[in-house]
């Protein structure tokens, strides 16, 4: 525990940045086989490093934990970067959606392993029905131009409540049929075999993300009409309310298995490197393809100037809502992966003070820079959580407090010296904007029939 | 031929009513009816409890009003959510804690004039403690403004906001270090005794350690002090902003900074002055809050600060009477929720009210419509 440890950690961080660069480079290569092989190799390298060969293991359990945490933090921070960096809506609610995703997915798998299929079916059918209801009502409301937000919100609320009630009804009907197949935690049934539980885990993560997205839709519809500062305060309030509900999940909310402020234990630890990597790459691909599409350009134009965007025929309200919903979806997925890696959820993790972390990461990496966010998430977790925790633990019980004393000082220095973030708007490999121009494969062809300008 | 007239007397263009407007309004009406039903039912069930809850709501609301003033004035002038304001409030409480517990400042008249009656000593001593806290908060706020906010005045607004969050974190967690304060809750030693009375067939003194009889309404001297201090501060600020030269300068700065500078107003000085005034009242609020609830810790300021900001937004940010009214509404809502729904939901209700009010009146209750972007 000394200079070698520090040097080793710095080497690890350097290797990680190189690894990320390589991954993004391979993903952005023009040949398809390079992309596929590159991603598989990137997955395999870490998988090998995590595997135990006799006594030798390159990355120990502590590093593995940090790695998973960094992956989830990347998803959450990328979601926030979409909302705040690309769309310019100052949101502090990301941590609330992260918590919703974590608790939702944990509840599904916890109930499943304990022989209760209602978790999966109520949440799954509920999100599907609610999504259909929102889609249908949206179609219907589109005909009535200029409907007040409050009326639209009332319609959506009614639709979602009906959908939820329907899902609970069906879930209660299905449950008795399935519960013999599920078995109990001591005698797992057919549907609790090693393969089946992985499938359930996948659906749990997806449904948790969609659930968080739907909550964010209902919350964002009225709240996004407020100005930017008010929106920030309202989303901060959302995080506080979600945290309050978590503390009282067994008294105010009807979920005794969440155990309120004592914390939820017994969540199956299903997150492997495969799932963490898979969901992280998925989030990166979705975000990149969204940002580099016409929708993405519309989202960015809202950040630059709302009035000008409106004049160009861009639906400002819809684009704000879209980026908010997708960003929350990423947060929900990240939360679900986190819950199954740590195996224990306590409301303290989702406190709003901790919730400033994604914001700080996004600002550090550079607003509107996906590469910066990814690098900052990994650097943040490995440097501050890993290195600093170990170093400061020699200072006694005050280590956590010291960390929070050092964060804001760093933040202040950054704001004063380099307000655009460490990486600015630099992007690596896959995340770069495609260069349109003559001679490129996907670029526009040079036009021969150019209009002749009459002078 | 009809004359084309552009004078304001010509008929305005009829704006089409938005479709299905009644749905949202009906939803709100149902909500209002439900809330009113709960309140009236409880009022009839137990009137004395109802009045007691209103009194505790007033106490909370008047403390929020003291904090909300700082938020509303600072936001009115520099358009910045000063997150650190709640922590200035906390520092005020801690300053008075140190002054009372460590240095016995509240008893200083006794050491100078040994024959002074005890009650007079307490009054003078407490006022000294409060003034000291206000002074410390003022100095702190001016320092924060000069070090952190002033270099970022021309930067994007969000940079200043993130800096404010950073300052807020720093104050909270630096205070939680063992050699500064402590991360734990600390029992607060009051500079004067809290005396309570109860009303049942006339006003009676409530002896300490004795339960008030059922069906009575209790109130204490700290309640009276908070209400009086808050109202006095309101009157003082109304006078300051509308009747003095510096008030005119403040309003001019908030209206248009470059023009104010051209008119010979020291804009930076005015901004510092605004921070200082807001911080002084936050310090006063901090001391009174600590005396009333008699337990402090370094994260004391976060939630009252946020709720005070919500109150300022509710009343229309930038408006001083608006902040006052908003804070009273916020206090009542919180007390009612604690009394009739459940204690943990008090934060949820505060933010729900904010969202609903902003949806109906985006400028808040007393706010003026915002200028179009130039």
pLDDT digits (tens, 9 = 90+) for B226-282: 999 999 999 999 999 999 999 999 999 988 889 999 999 999 999 999 999 999 999
Residue B274 lies in a domain: yes
pLDDT at B374: 38
Instruction: Domain count for chain B, please give it.
Output: 1
User: CB A244 to CB B344 under 8 A?
Assistant: yes
Residue B296: strand, helix, or coil: strand
User: CB A154 to CB B172 under 8 A?
Assistant: no
pTM here is 0.89
**pLDDT at position A39 over 50:** yes
pLDDT at A389: 64
Residue B87 lies in a domain: yes
Task: Name the residue facing B342 among A222, A252, A416 (closest C-beta).
Answer: A252
Q: What is the length of chain A?
A: 455
- Which range is least confidently modeled, A135-144, B253-262, B359-368? B359-368
Give yes or no for a contact between A213 and B333, defined as CB atoms under 8 angstroms apart.
no
User: CB B20 to CB A151 under 8 A?
Assistant: yes
Alpha-carbon separation of residue B368 from B74, B238, B322, B362 (angstroms): 16, 17, 11, 10
pLDDT at B372: 45
Give yes or no for a contact between B86 and B302, defined as CB atoms under 8 angstroms apart.
yes
CB < 8 Å to A407, chain B: 166, 169
Measured between CA atoms, how close is B249 to chain A, in angstroms? 25
DSSP string, A81-130: IIIIIIT------HHHHHHHHHHHHHHHHHHHHTT-THHHHHHHHHHHHH
Please report the residues numbered 167 through 226 in chain A whose beta carbons come closer than 8 angstroms to any beta carbon of chain B. 222-223, 225-226
| Fold (CATH) for A9-49+59-115+183-431 | ABC transporter involved in vitamin B12 uptake, BtuC (1.10.3470)
Give yes or no for a contact between B133 and B96, defined as CB atoms under 8 angstroms apart.
yes
What ipTM does the predicted assembly reach? 0.84
Alpha-carbon separation of residue B168 from A25, A420, B21, B196 (angstroms): 40, 21, 42, 35
How large is the average pLDDT for residues A22-29? 87
Please report the residues numbered 47 through 86 in chain A whose beta carbons come closer than 8 angstroms to any beta carbon of chain B. none
Separation between Cα atoms, residue A293 and residue A429, nearest integer Å: 17
Q: Which residue of B has its CA nearest to A239?
A: B348
Domain ranges for chain A, please list them: 9-49+59-115+183-431
Q: Which domain holds residue B266?
A: 60-194+234-360
B37: which 2 tokens? 């039903």
Provide the pLDDT confidence category of residue A253 given band limits of 50, 70 and 90: confident
pLDDT at B317: 83
Q: Which residue of B has its CA nearest to A244?
A: B344
CA angle, residues A271, A275, A277, in degrees to nearest 5:
120
CATH number reported for the structural domain that contains residue B149 in this entry = 1.10.3470
Provide the pLDDT confidence category of residue A430 given band limits of 50, 70 and 90: confident
Q: What is the pLDDT of residues B33-73, one digit of tens each?
A: 999 998 999 899 888 889 999 999 999 999 999 999 999 99
Task: Name the residue facing A405 among B16, B170, B299 (closest C-beta).
Answer: B170
**pLDDT at position A445 over 60:** no
**pLDDT at position B6 over 80:** no
Separation between Cα atoms, residue A258 and residue A207, nearest integer Å: 18
Q: Which of A341, A266, A275 is nearest to A61 (CA)?
A: A341
User: CB B162 to CB A236 under 8 A?
Assistant: no
> Which is it for strands B217-220 and B295-296: parallel, antiparallel or unpaired?
unpaired
pLDDT at A169: 93
């Amino acid at each position: 525990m000394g200079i070698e440890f520090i040097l080793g950690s710095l080497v690890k961080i350097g290797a990680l940045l190189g690894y990320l660069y390589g991954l993004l480079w391979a993903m952005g290569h023009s040949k398809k086989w390079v992309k596929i092989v590159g991603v598989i190799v990137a997955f395999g390298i870490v998988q090998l490093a995590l595997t135990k060969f006799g006594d030798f293991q390159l990355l120990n359990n502590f590093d593995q934990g940090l790695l998973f945490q960094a992956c989830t933090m990347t998803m959450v921070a990328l979601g926030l970067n979409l909302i705040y960096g690309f769309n310019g809506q100052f949101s502090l609610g990301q941590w609330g959606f992260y918590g919703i995703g974590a608790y939702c997915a944990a509840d599904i798998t916890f109930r499943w392993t304990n022989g209760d299929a209602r978790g999966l079916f109520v949440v799954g059918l509920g999100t599907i029905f609610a999504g259909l209801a929102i889609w249908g009502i949206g179609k219907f409301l589109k005909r009535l131009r200029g409907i007040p937000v409050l009326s639209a919100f009332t319609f959506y609320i009614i639709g979602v409540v009906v959908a939820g009630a329907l899902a609970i009804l069906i879930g209660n009907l299905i449950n008795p049929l399935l519960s013999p197949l599920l078995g109990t935690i001591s005698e797992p049934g057919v549907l609790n075999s090693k393969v089946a539980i992985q499938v359930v885990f996948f659906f749990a993560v997806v449904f948790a993300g969609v659930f968080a997205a739907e909550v964010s839709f209902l919350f964002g519809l009225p709240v996004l009409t407020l100005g930017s500062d008010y929106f920030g305060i309202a989303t901060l309030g959302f995080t506080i309310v979600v945290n309050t509900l978590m503390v009282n999940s067994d008294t105010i909310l009807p979920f005794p298995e969440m155990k309120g402020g004592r914390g939820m234990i017994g969540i199956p630890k299903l997150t492997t490197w495969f799932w963490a990597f898979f969901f992280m790459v998925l989030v990166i691909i979705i975000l990149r393809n969204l940002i580099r599409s016409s929708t993405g350009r519309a989202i960015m134009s809202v950040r630059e100037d709302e009035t000008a965007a409106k004049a160009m025929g861009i639906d400002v309200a819809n684009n704000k809502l879209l980026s908010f919903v997708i960003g929350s979806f990423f947060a929900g997925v990240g939360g679900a992966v986190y819950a199954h890696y740590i195996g224990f959820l306590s409301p303290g993790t989702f406190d709003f003070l901790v919730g400033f972390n994604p914001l700080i990461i996004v600002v550090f990496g550079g607003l509107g820079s996906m590469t910066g966010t990814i690098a900052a998430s990994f650097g943040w977790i490995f440097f501050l959580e890993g290195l600093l925790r170990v170093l400061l633990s020699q200072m006694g019980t005050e280590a956590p407090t010291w960390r929070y004393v050092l964060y804001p000082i760093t933040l202040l220095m950054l704001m004063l010296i380099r307000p655009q973030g460490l990486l600015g708007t630099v992007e690596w490999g896959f995340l770069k904007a495609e260069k349109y121009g003559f001679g490129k494969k996907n670029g526009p062809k040079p036009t021969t029939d150019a209009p002749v300008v009459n002078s | 031929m009809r004359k084309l007239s552009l004078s304001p007397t010509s008929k305005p263009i009829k704006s089409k009513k938005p479709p299905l407007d009644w749905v949202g309004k009906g939803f709100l009406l149902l909500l209002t009816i439900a809330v009113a039903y709960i309140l009236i039912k409880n009022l009839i069930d137990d009137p004395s409890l109802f009045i007691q809850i209103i009194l505790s709501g007033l106490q909370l609301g008047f403390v929020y009003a003291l904090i909300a003033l700082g938020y509303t004035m600072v936001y009115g002038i520099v358009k910045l959510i000063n997150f650190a304001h709640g922590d200035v409030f906390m520092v005020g409480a801690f300053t008075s804690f140190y002054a009372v517990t460590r240095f016995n400042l509240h008893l200083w008249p006794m050491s100078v004039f040994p024959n002074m009656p005890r009650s007079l000593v307490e009054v003078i001593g407490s006022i000294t403690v409060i003034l000291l806290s206000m002074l410390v908060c003022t100095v702190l706020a001016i320092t924060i403004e000069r070090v952190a906010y002033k270099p970022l005045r021309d930067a994007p607004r969000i940079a200043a906001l993130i800096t404010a969050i950073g300052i807020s974190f720093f104050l909270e967690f630096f205070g939680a270090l063992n050699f500064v304060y402590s991360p734990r809750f600390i029992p607060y030693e009051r500079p004067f005794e809290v005396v309570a009375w109860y009303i049942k067939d006339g006003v009676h003194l409530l002896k300490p350690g004795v339960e008030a009889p059922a069906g009575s309404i209790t109130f204490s001297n700290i309640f009276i002090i908070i209400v009086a201090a808050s109202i006095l501060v309101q009157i003082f600020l109304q006078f300051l902003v509308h009747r003095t030269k510096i008030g005119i300068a403040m309003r001019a700065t908030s209206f248009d900074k470059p023009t104010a500078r051209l008119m010979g107003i020291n804009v930076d000085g005015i901004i510092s002055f605004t921070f200082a005034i807001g911080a002084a009242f936050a310090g006063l609020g901090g001391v009174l809050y600590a005396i009333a609830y008699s337990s402090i810790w370094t994260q004391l300021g976060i939630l009252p600060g946020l709720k005070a900001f919500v109150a300022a937004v509710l009343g229309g940010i930038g408006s001083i009477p608006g902040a006052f009214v908003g804070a009273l509404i916020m206090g009542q809502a919180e007390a009612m929720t604690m009394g009739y729904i459940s204690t943990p939901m008090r934060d949820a209700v505060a933010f729900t009210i904010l969202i609903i009010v902003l949806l109906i009146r985006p400028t808040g209750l007393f706010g003026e419509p915002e200028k179009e972007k130039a």
